[in-house]
Chain A
Amino acid sequence: MQRIVLWAMSTLTVVVLLLGYRTSLSGPMATAGAPSPYSASAPATAASSDTGSGSGSGSGQARTAQSGAGSGTGSTDVTGSTVSTRYGPVQVQLTVAQGTITGAQVLQYPSGDPRSAQISSYALPTLVQETVDQQSAQIDMVSGATYTSTGYEQSLQSALDQAGL
């Protein structure tokens, strides 16, 4: 567990760096509400980066939670201690499963207005199996290569737009 926490803290530094780059430079601390389940995928590269930006004390506290993915193997949530950055305090929670960081959630981030915080919030993409009925996919919008208005006529996005008109 000690190793995992250390690993978590080194990753925390990376997360802090990302936050520092994106978030507001000023404003009082704001605490996010219930963390979104669709948090940024963890930068799981065990960073050896020595940035000096984060100053984590390393006193992360861990609790074990059963993974909701039904994999049968437990995952552990590691809550990092609050880290002071020049942008304000940051606290993240990492989900560790079988020694691999599978998720990161920001519990607290520096921002005057949580609405303005530029924290990415998305899950890992899931590849769609060929056997799945593509047309019935419950999707809102399609990201595709640059397409012309001509190519659009045959695209799935076109069908989606028509469905809503």
Chain B
Amino acid sequence: MRTVSTADPATWRSVAHVMGMPVSVALRGRHAGSPTGTEAWHEVVALLESVDRDYSPYRADSWVSRVDRGEATLGEGPAGLREVVALGEAARRDSDGAFDVWRADQDGRRCFDPSGVVKGWAAQRASLMLTWLPETDVCLSVGGDLVCRTADPTGTPWQVGIEHPLHPARVVARVPVVRGGVATSGLSHRGGHVVDARTGQVPVGIASVTVLADDVVTADIDATAALALGAAGPAWLRRRGRTAVVVRSDGSAEVVAA
């Protein structure tokens, strides 16, 4: 068994566990491992911890949980909460309702769960702590949602692997990214955590959807919506002009390009 080799051994890396997810960073260039770069990474972790406090559906005292229980209104929460809801609303329209931060649970109760938006939104916000670093290339993963940015727009791309949903130690595809967001939604790891908001059913036939976009917020939402759409997901992505990798339940994979 060969060990994993990274594309560039000069890459500085760190990992933290926030929001119940691994958060990985890779920096190249001037601030890879510098005190300024390290401090910026600590700011990333602090920001994500504050997002967790405000938006985690698993914390009873988060704004999301309080809104879900009807104890608080959206207007009372932080401005970010309304950003997240607005993003979710746009996604609901775009996906004909398959994606919705509001959905009925098994007992018919209306639940508020913006998790499908929060991760990408948090990754985008957190990346801003790093992307200002001069002459420094940044690759940040928040639970598998990536923000990639090279300081030089013509610089060496980050080599992104797309995890095989049925074999997590493998990649099913790879893609070089200079600047952009990459997000994957799937039914692996956590089990069926994505449902079609219209039916409450876990989509069948698709194991994971990875979307590339200008920004990770868009990539995350579209990946989740495409997964919720199930078999209709690839055609929906194509109509939206997205670049994506779809892995079906039988392990076969397809590159979606507009």
Contact = CB atoms under 8 A, between A and B. Distances in A.
A157 B182 CA distance: 15
B234 to A, nearest CB: 13
Contact of B153 (A32, A136, A142, A156): A32
Secondary structure at the A interface, as helix, strand, loop or mixed, is loop
A125 B173 contact: yes
A22 B218 CA distance: 12
B184 A135 contact: no
| Size range of the chain B interface in the assembly | 35 or more
Which of A122, A133, A136, A140 has the most chain B CB within a 10 Å cutoff?
Answer: A140
A163 interface: yes
Contacts of B21: 146-149, 152
A2 interface: no
Interface string A124-144: 111110000111111111111
A70 to B, nearest CB: 18
Contacts of B6: 138-140, 160, 163-164
Contact of A141 (B158, B170, B187): B158
Contact of A143 (B4, B145, B169, B178): B145
A92 B163 CA distance: 33
Interface stretch (A37-45, A60-68, A71-79, A80-88): A37-45
Given A140-B11, A147-B22, 4 more contacts: A114-B153, A122-B179, A124-B255, A142-B144
Interface of A: 14, 18, 22, 32-36, 38, 40-45, 114-115, 117-128, 133-149, 151-152, 154-161, 163-165
B255 A127 contact: yes
Interface of B: 1-8, 11-15, 17, 20-22, 24, 26, 119, 139, 141, 143-146, 148, 151, 153-154, 157-163, 165, 168-180, 182-190, 193, 208, 210, 212-215, 241, 243-245, 253, 255, 257-258
Contact of A125 (B174, B183, B258): B174
Contacts of A117: 153
Contacts of A160: 4, 6, 13, 24
A138 B159 contact: yes
Given A14-B241, A114-B153, A146-B185, A38 B168 contact: no
A157 B258 CA distance: 29
A123 B24 contact: no
Contact of A120 (B183, B186, B212, B257): B212
Contact of A155 (B1, B119, B163, B190): B163
Contacts of B151: 115
A126 B174 CA distance: 5
A145 B177 contact: no
Contacts of B162: 125, 142-144
B186 A145 contact: yes
A41 B243 contact: yes
Contact of B179 (A121, A139, A164): A121
B161 A154 contact: no
Given A125-B173, A126-B173, A147 B178 contact: no
Smallest CB-CB A-B distances: 3 pairs: A145-B186, A164-B13, A144-B163
